[in-house]
């Protein structure tokens, strides 16, 4: 690519999308966030503002820098505002149909044929999304981790069609501009981290589901016995049980291995709206205030 990636678009202003936009704005980038409508765009702005305020309160960011970052962000209810972007990161719900629809729309809207269209998917093969466009060579995975302003890792995933120069440009963007550490993954469901993590989380769900141990004891065992900073069921609650289930389904769909199959308890909890921290209740109970 000619020049650096300085004009960034983020599609989806939920928790992950808002955090991705925040780290881009904190890095000094011209960043536009697109949501479904004006009300959702206002909600995205509030999420970023709250995250920046928490960083200030914790001494991780000074007040002036936080205000400057928020001022760099534009929040919109229209995809058309992505037309001049050099890099667009899709961060909508972990659903293949929803993501495919976004990529098909971006392909028509983003004007620069050299612009890179990236997905923050946790598990959906990049090729499937790239083939929804006429520029599969410019489509790749750019998977951030929760919480984005804190965790340093980014997975970069190239499909069979992704151009090497697009991969290089995004790796330089992630490392040099955002200060992240990059690991490369082949384009297979789950990539590196979730292919290892999800079976572990599902094993913990099955243990609680069987009555072998309580959720509290499962988490305490891994925190105190294995020095994990967070037990597996607390981590599942943090990720969101709907997201964990979606990743598991994507992994199982690709590999047909039982260890990837979402347990019935997990499926029932998702159906009941017990999604973890974001709903106030999952395997544990949380204060949503």
Please give the positions annotated as active site: 122, 143, 155, 194
CA dist., res. 41 & res. 44, Å (int): 5
- 8 A C-beta contact, residue 10 and residue 31: yes
Rounded alpha-carbon distances, angstroms, from residue 18 to 6, 51, 189? 18, 9, 24
Region for 3 from its dihedrals, namely left if φ exceeds 0, alpha if ψ lies in -120 to 50, beta otherwise: left
- 8 A C-beta contact, residue 16 and residue 144: yes
Strand, coil or helix: what is 92? coil
Rounded alpha-carbon distances, angstroms, from residue 154 to 1, 125, 126, 272? 20, 16, 15, 32
In terms of Cα–Cα distance, which of 141, 167, 138 is closest to 154?
141
In terms of Cα–Cα distance, which of 99, 105, 82, 119 is closest to 7?
82
- 8 A C-beta contact, residue 130 and residue 139: yes
CA dist., res. 154 & res. 175, Å (int): 9
Q: Residue 170's Cα: distance from chain center in Å?
A: 16
């Amino acid at each position: 690519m000619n020049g650096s990636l300085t004009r960034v678009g983020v599609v989806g202003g939920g928790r992950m999308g808002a955090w991705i936009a925040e780290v881009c704005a904190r890095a000094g980038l011209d960043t536009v966030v697109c949501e479904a409508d004006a009300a959702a765009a206002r909600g995205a702005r509030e999420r970023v503002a709250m995250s920046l305020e928490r960083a200030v309160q914790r001494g991780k960011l000074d007040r002036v820098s936080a205000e400057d970052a928020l001022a760099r962000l534009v929040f919109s209810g229209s995809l058309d505002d992505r037309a001049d972007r050099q890099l667009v990161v899709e961060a909508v719900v972990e659903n293949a149909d929803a993501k495919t629809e976004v990529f098909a729309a971006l392909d028509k809207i983003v004007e620069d044929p050299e612009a890179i269209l990236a997905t923050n998917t946790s598990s959906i093969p990049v090729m499937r999304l790239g083939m929804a466009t006429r520029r599969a060579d410019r489509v790749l995975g750019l998977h951030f981790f929760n919480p984005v302003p804190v965790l340093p890792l980014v997975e970069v995933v190239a499909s069979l069609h992704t151009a090497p120069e697009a991969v290089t440009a995004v790796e330089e963007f992630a490392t040099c501009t955002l200060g992240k550490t990059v690991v490369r993954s082949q384009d297979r469901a789950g990539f590196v981290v979730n292919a290892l993590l999800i079976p572990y989380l599902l094993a913990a769900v099955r243990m609680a589901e069987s009555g072998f141990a309580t959720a509290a004891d499962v988490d305490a065992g891994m925190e105190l016995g294995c020095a994990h900073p967070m037990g597996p069921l607390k981590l599942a609650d943090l990720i969101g049980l709907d997201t964990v289930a979606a990743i598991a389904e994507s992994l199982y769909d690709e590999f047909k291995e039982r260890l990837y199959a979402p347990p019935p308890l997990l499926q029932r909890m998702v159906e009941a709206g017990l999604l973890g921290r974001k709903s106030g209740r999952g395997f544990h109970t949380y204060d949503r205030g």
